[in-house]
């Protein structure tokens, strides 16, 4: 067995923290478990708010412009319930993606004490991130916006104001799926509404004037088409990445896998958890309501409790 000093020379790509800098890995992990994750990035917060406003706009047009004025009661009820349920699931998935720790590596764990506890084998090499001063696990990458190394980081998405990583990829997949579904539903309803209004010569097809109705529906069609295209592509690439056990960063960098790949259903099970069930498409699964006292963490990108 090598001595600690020899082991440090093998792994010291960058200077480690001073020996007198204390780091308690157990307390750090516990603190992270109790932390409310929220990235304080201006661009990301604006994009997240825009996402919610666009979904609310779509819900307003579908409900008040197309469904409520309809004379077909069951048509309005069924489509109204379906669209609003999908919208709630989409926004819930968005919140879970945004407020879930994506798999951040504890900051500042690159200490001599922590290295000794790793019980490294002779000649084994590990890497230290010089930006957040942490030991980088396999497949972790540093995010300059989150200011952390993220396990199995796929990419940083400003629309959810968070990284997509090991712990929140499932919610991101659900978010893209539900946004694609409500976008497709809105486009179908717009098609029926235009047909109904033209056939009725724009009389009594909406409580709004014909020009206002046309403008609102055109904007909804543009929004629906753009969102459907974007989220359907993202959903497809995410499922492909999961089934191939390869993140987007790894694919772009053409990194050769040094890990044992979990392909297809094994990959899906590792991300969504357990055997296929309705829980896979439920963004509320595993959610526990807790009383949280938010306070901003000084010098950090996330809130802590």
Hey, which residues are catalytic here?
157
The residues, any chain, with a CB within 8 Å of residue 186's CB and separated by 6 or more, are: 58, 61, 62, 83, 220, 221, 223, 224
Residue 241 to residue 234: CA distance in whole angstroms: 10
Burial-class residue 202 by CB neighbours within 10 Å (0-12, 13-18, 19+). middle
Residue 157 C-alpha from the chain's centroid: 7
Radius of gyration of the CA atoms of the chain, in A: 24
């Amino acid at each position: 067995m090598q001595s600690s000093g020899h082991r440090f020379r093998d792994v010291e790509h960058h200077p480690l923290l001073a020996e007198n800098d204390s780091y308690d890995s157990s307390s750090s992990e516990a603190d992270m478990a109790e932390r409310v994750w929220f990235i304080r990035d201006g661009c990301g917060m604006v994009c997240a708010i825009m996402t919610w406003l666009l979904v609310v706009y779509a819900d307003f047009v579908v409900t008040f412009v197309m469904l409520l004025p309809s004379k077909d009661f069951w048509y309005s009820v069924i489509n109204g319930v379906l669209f609003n349920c999908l919208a709630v699931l989409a926004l819930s998935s968005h919140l879970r993606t945004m407020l879930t720790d994506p798999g951040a590596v504890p900051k500042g764990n690159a200490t001599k004490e922590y290295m000794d506890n790793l019980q490294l084998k002779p000649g084994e090499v590990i890497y230290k991130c010089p930006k957040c001063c942490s030991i980088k696990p396999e497949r972790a990458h540093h995010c300059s916006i989150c200011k952390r190394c993220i396990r199995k980081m796929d990419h940083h998405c400003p629309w959810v104001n968070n990284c997509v990583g090991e712990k929140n990829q499932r919610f991101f997949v659900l978010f893209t799926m539900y946004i694609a579904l409500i976008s497709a539903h809105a486009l179908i309803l717009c098609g029926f509404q235009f047909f109904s209004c033209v056939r009725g010569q724009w009389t009594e097809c909406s409580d709004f004037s014909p020009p206002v109705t046309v403008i609102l529906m055109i904007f909804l069609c543009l929004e629906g088409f753009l969102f459907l295209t974007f989220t359907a592509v993202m959903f497809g690439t995410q499922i492909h990445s999961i089934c191939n056990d390869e993140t987007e960063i790894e694919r772009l960098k053409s990194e050769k896998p040094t890990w044992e790949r979990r392909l297809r259903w094994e990959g899906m099970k590792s991300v969504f958890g357990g055997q296929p069930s309705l829980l896979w498409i439920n963004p509320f699964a595993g959610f526990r309501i807790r009383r949280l006292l938010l306070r901003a963490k000084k010098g950090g990108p996330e809130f802590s409790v």
